[in-house]
Amino acid sequence: MTVGGLTVEAHALEYSLGTAPDGVSGPLLSVPTDDSPGCTAADYDKLPARGAVALVDRGSCEFAQKEDVAAQQGVAALIIVDNVDEQSMGGTLGVNTDVKIPVVGVTKSVGMQLRGKSGPTTVKLTASTQSFKARNVIAQTKTGSTTDVVMAGAHLDSVAEGPGINDNGSGVAAVLETAVQLGNSPQVHNAVRFGFWGAEELGLIGSRNYVESLNIDALKNIALYLNFDMLASPNPGYFTYDGDQSLPLDSRGQPVVPEGSAGIERLLVAYLKLAGKTAQDTAFDGRSDYDGFTLAGIPSGGLFAGAEVKKTDEQAKLWGGTANEPFDPNYHQKGDTLEHIDRTALGIQGAGVAYAVGLYAQDLTGRNGVPPIEDRTRHVLVKP
């Protein structure tokens, strides 16, 4: 990529469009930074977007949303600035996304340099397609009601840029250990099903494919879904998915949160309190494998230690760690290794997997329960 005659390093996001050999050119347009950079059309108000190469910060919404908004404003190509330095940004636009313009990522330091520049900008991308086979692994106890299944899951894959020890070896290890300790024939009232998902990092493909394979009766038989993705971030937070929808609305609007999800959140908040941690909410923003389940109407929840977002001063006082640094500075990077996880956080959040699975395997009723099968609303997902 060249900006005003200067060549800078950029990396294409997965599923980006390619360009002609001469590339795509236009004036560089720096989109103002705010709480949702490049996530809404309002971010481009009164800006000369048509035909420009737009520069937006990472964060607050999915890459695909930034691309879609930019394309609707007539932007020729999109540059997304990472929130960390000296790393190549990994990311995907999603396999089912209707991508209209080329999208590349640059590091934080490169982004800062570009914000001070002007002049013609050219993006050149050579796109190619490769096919891979990915698999889900599903296992269920032999005991317990098969019309009130408690399901827990974690994704198996990592991005190509990193080993994926926190994202998501931590979640897989916690769910797998829960399955091992539970055994194949535990004395439970409700059957427990474990899902280990393939191709999450390419757009939640494995879990979405699984949910799409289920008919209405099979969907109703799943009482709830628990998602565990990134439990050992090195600057950890202690988040539960926002089942009671107490977070203020942002540019994405109201997320899909099925009835019963609030009870799951309350149960996990209570567990973290027992473990000595005060929970905070994280949004159902569509970035992990719960997404297909919530769209199908299945109550969902889970634990999360944080990713690329920076820990606030308030959160550092609450949980310890370093303020104004990402919860996981190695998110989607080569530094996501065994040396860069927080084992205390993994111990607390990993035990939370067993806590939630164990309680729901015995009882789905009460204040923290979910609707009985006769009151469950489900939606069959149609394959795109």
Q: For 324-358, how does the pLDDT look when each residue is reduced to its tens digit (9 = 90+)?
A: 999 999 998 899 999 999 999 999 999 999 999 99
262 located within any domain: yes
**CATH code, domain carrying 107:** 3.50.30.30
**Alpha-carbon span 62 to 219, nearest angstrom:** 27
Give the DSSP per-residue string, 194-263: EEEES-STTTSHHHHHHHHT--HHHHHHEEEEEEE-----SS---EEE-TT--SPP-TT-S----TTHHH
Encoded amino acid at 249, one letter? L
pLDDT bracket for residue 161 (50, 70, 90): confident
Predicted confidence at residue 323, as pLDDT, reads 98
Predicted confidence at residue 299, as pLDDT, reads 99
258 located within any domain: yes
Same domain, yes or no: 245 and 322: yes
Q: For 370-381, how does the pLDDT look when each residue is reduced to its tens digit (9 = 90+)?
A: 999 999 999 999
Read off the pLDDT of each residue in 183-204 and give the average, rounded to a whole number.
96
253 located within any domain: yes
Under DSSP, the state recorded for 160 is: T
Predicted confidence at residue 87, as pLDDT, reads 63
Same domain, yes or no: 105 and 207: no
Domain's final residue, options 63, 92, 123 = 123
pLDDT bracket for residue 34 (50, 70, 90): confident
**CATH code, domain carrying 208:** 3.40.630.10
Number of domains in the chain: 2
Read off the pLDDT of each residue in 242-247 and give the average, rounded to a whole number.
95
Predicted confidence at residue 104, as pLDDT, reads 93
Task: Print the domain residue range for 67.
Answer: 2-123
Read off the pLDDT of each residue in 141-150 and give the average, rounded to a whole number.
99
101 located within any domain: yes
Predicted confidence at residue 6, as pLDDT, reads 82
**Alpha-carbon span 219 to 377, nearest angstrom:** 9
Give the DSSP per-residue string, 326-358: BS-TTTTSTT-SGGGS-HHHHHHHHHHHHHHHH
Residue 42 has pLDDT above 80, yes or no: yes
Q: Catalytic: which of 200, 201, 265, 308?
A: 200
Same domain, yes or no: 88 and 171: no
Encoded amino acid at 160, one letter? A
Residue 200 annotated in active site? yes
pLDDT bracket for residue 130 (50, 70, 90): confident
384 located within any domain: no
Same domain, yes or no: 161 and 73: no
383 located within any domain: no
Share of the chain above pLDDT 90, in %: 73
149 located within any domain: yes
Instruction: Kindly report which listed range (6-15, 50-59, 312-321) carries the lowest average pLDDT score.
Output: 6-15
Residue 61 has pLDDT above 90, yes or no: no
Predicted confidence at residue 251, as pLDDT, reads 60
The pLDDT mean for the chain works out to 93
48 located within any domain: yes
Read off the pLDDT of each residue in 15-44 and give the average, rounded to a whole number.
89
pLDDT bracket for residue 361 (50, 70, 90): very high
| Highest mean pLDDT of the ranges 102-106, 126-130, 178-182, 202-206 | 178-182
Read off the pLDDT of each residue in 233-250 and give the average, rounded to a whole number.
94
For residue 131 the two structure tokens come to 């096919």
For residue 293 the two structure tokens come to 């389940």
Question: CA nearest 40: which of 31, 30, 29, 48?
Answer: 31
Domain's final residue, options 69, 90, 123 = 123
Domain's final residue, options 81, 98, 123 = 123
Same domain, yes or no: 321 and 179: yes
Same domain, yes or no: 77 and 116: yes
Residue 119 has pLDDT above 90, yes or no: no
Q: For 245-276, how does the pLDDT look when each residue is reduced to its tens digit (9 = 90+)?
A: 999 876 666 788 999 999 999 999 999 999 99
Q: For 63-101, how does the pLDDT look when each residue is reduced to its tens digit (9 = 90+)?
A: 999 999 999 999 999 999 987 765 666 678 876 678 999
Share of the chain above pLDDT 70, in %: 96
Read off the pLDDT of each residue in 195-215 and give the average, rounded to a whole number.
96
Same domain, yes or no: 189 and 270: yes
